[in-house]
Amino acid sequence: MKQSRHRVAFGMVLTLLCLAGAPSEAAAAANSAATEDCLSCHGGIHPGAIGDWKHSRHAQVTPAEAMQKPVRERRVSTDKLPDNLANHTVGCAECHTSNADKHKDTFEHNGYQVHVVVSPVDCAGCHPAEVEQYGHNIMSHAYGNLVNNTLYQDLEKSVNGAYAFTEGRLVVSDPNPSTREDSCLACHGTVVELKGLKQKDTDMGTMDLPELSGWPNQGVGRVNPDGSLGSCASCHARHEFSLGMARKPYTCSQCHSGPDVPAYKIYSVSKHGNIFASREKGWDFEAVPWKLGKDLTAPTCATCHVSLLVNDEGAVIAERSHQMSDRLPWRIFGLIYAHPYPKSPDITNVKNRGGLPLPTELTGEPVNEFLIDGREQAARRNSMQRICLACHAEQWVQGHWSRFENTIRTSDATTLATTQVLSTAWEKGLARGPAQNDSIFNEAIERKWAEQWLFYANAVRFSAAMLGADYGVFELGRWHASRTLLEMREWLAQMSMAGEKVNKPAGSEVKAGSGSETRHKAVPRKQ
């Protein structure tokens, strides 16, 4: 670096001001008296949480100041602010005492009606559009969509259940609540309920503090004590609640990294991810609206799926949306076959002709009544392609999408062949499936089959969608999808030759413990 020391220093200062997202309005906004009360004790007790908040825009700009920006530059979406929120910072009290009557976990604390669990209802005071959109996002229904689906519950029990090997028999019982909260529900969301108040000795004296079930949790579909769904802190981490942090792929990686939904890993090995990693520190993640080619030069997750994007002249390329499925014609993961996106974010009532709670048949045909139609798919495809076209020429975009949709078809075809191998095993009595009213996830061969689509076919589609081909071949993709099929085919032949005639081969059965008997009866099975 040949710049003079002086220029470097000055550049660095401005760099940090720009990059760390610290608004220059600093110093003006005052805390409410209630928040000052909170800080007087909690400042010393929880320096991490308070320090985090001090770095936030909430701590530095009043909502009234935020409203003075031109509409397109606003981070608040309300037309009219509640009077009590307008003219001081958004501090501890503003969130933890708002809507006190709606929160079942509200408790009296040094003269304030406080609740621990801040919910989207509280955020909606300033950000109502985002909360409303998020309610249409399938993520807000992630709890119910999981626990009210009998097939998913079979799968969860097979994965998380309590196993015991007794007298030569393998028995599985339902996972206990803590196990569920520590696994699936960590991302999907727990049910947070007030169990009661409990007296505790603290450094500040004896206090009655609430006991909460399902806590802590920041899952996207958390069922809050006020009945609302979701946690804005899933993506806008407490207590900075940053827009810039949510725009970085690290946030999405918390739930979208595993082999069931490897979006982050595939992004990381894509050209987009490469450019992000190399250029991240020069981008402006806090700018609203987000100017393509200026604030950023390659997309992050949020760029394509959420953010308000404009070009140099401020013309809108994409509107902000917390619904996210707005630009998604296909649902490519989490289920046996890809299919058009579901119409409703609440998919607990989906059922196929075979009676299974699936949006496709076991042979792949979509159950159209629950899914968006071709016209809606085209509209969503077009919305996403407008973003592609902001960087890429028409030929590029058409070529990419043509390949992606080809890969949806071919990956589903491999899954169909794999499913037919398993169906043959079910028919021959080499494994027990829907016809025997048995779980389709509780035998080794069934779990192998599930990996074929839940991990591998899934990854193949993601890698096509997001241009991370390396992942979709060798990491956990076509290699493994086809290897699994070959292995299942060999297993079928060996088992067939072993002359197994019993309904369920010895050794592959898993006996359900008492906890699961009821649930199993509730599962509608193919007739």
Stretch that binds its own copies, among 119-127, 129-137, 264-272, 348-356 (CB under 8 A): 264-272
Q: Does 395 bind its own copies (CB under 8 A)?
A: yes
Residues of span 173-192 touching its own copies by CB under 8 A: 175-176, 178-179, 181-184, 186-187
What residues pair up with 366 in beta bridges, in sequence order?
360
Question: Which residue's CB is nearer to its own copies, number 372 or number 495?
Answer: 495
What would the x/- binding string for its own copies be over residues 110 to 149, using CB under 8 A? ------x---------------------------------
What gap in Å lies between CA 331 and CA 359, rounded to an integer? 10
What would the x/- binding string for its own copies be over residues 2 to 31, using CB under 8 A? xxxx-xxxxxxxxxxxxxxxxxxxxx----
Q: Of 452, 454, 431, whose CA–CA distance to 443 is shortest?
A: 431
Taking CA atoms, 370 is separated from 341, 366, 373, 376, in Å, by 9, 9, 9, 13
Q: In what order do the strands lie in the sheet with 162-166?
A: 162-166, 169-173, 511-512
Q: What is the identity of the amino acid at 79?
A: D
Tokens at 264, concatenated: 């982050």
Q: Does 410 bind its own copies (CB under 8 A)?
A: yes
Question: Which residue's CB is nearer to its own copies, number 85 or number 445?
Answer: 445
Residues of span 371-390 touching its own copies by CB under 8 A: 389-390
Q: Does 240 bind its own copies (CB under 8 A)?
A: yes
Stretch that binds its own copies, among 135-143, 312-320, 363-371, 514-522 (CB under 8 A): 312-320
What gap in Å lies between CA 209 and CA 220, rounded to an integer? 26
Per the CB < 8 A criterion, the answer to whether 263 and 256 are in contact is yes
Stretch that binds its own copies, among 160-168, 220-228, 322-330, 341-349 (CB under 8 A): 160-168
Q: Does 196 bind its own copies (CB under 8 A)?
A: no
**In the set 304, 306, 485, 512, which binds its own copies (CB under 8 A)?**
485
What gap in Å lies between CA 221 and CA 135, rounded to an integer? 10
Q: Of 144, 138, 145, 139, whose CA–CA distance to 358 is shortest?
A: 145
The region, left, alpha or beta by phi > 0 then psi within -120 to 50, assigned to residue 271 is alpha
The total of other beta-carbon atoms located within 10 Å of residue 381's CB is 18
**In the set 80, 281, 375, 501, which binds its own copies (CB under 8 A)?**
281
The total of other beta-carbon atoms located within 10 Å of residue 280's CB is 15
- Minimum CB distance to its own copies, residue 463 (Å): 8
What would the x/- binding string for its own copies be over residues 331 to 370, using CB under 8 A? ----------------------------------------
Stretch that binds its own copies, among 119-127, 293-301, 325-333, 517-525 (CB under 8 A): 293-301
What residues pair up with 166 in beta bridges, in sequence order?
169
Q: Does 443 bind its own copies (CB under 8 A)?
A: yes
Tokens at 110, concatenated: 């040094």
**In the set 70, 168, 196, 205, which binds its own copies (CB under 8 A)?**
168
Q: Does 396 bind its own copies (CB under 8 A)?
A: yes
Tell how far CA 160 is from the center of its chain: 20
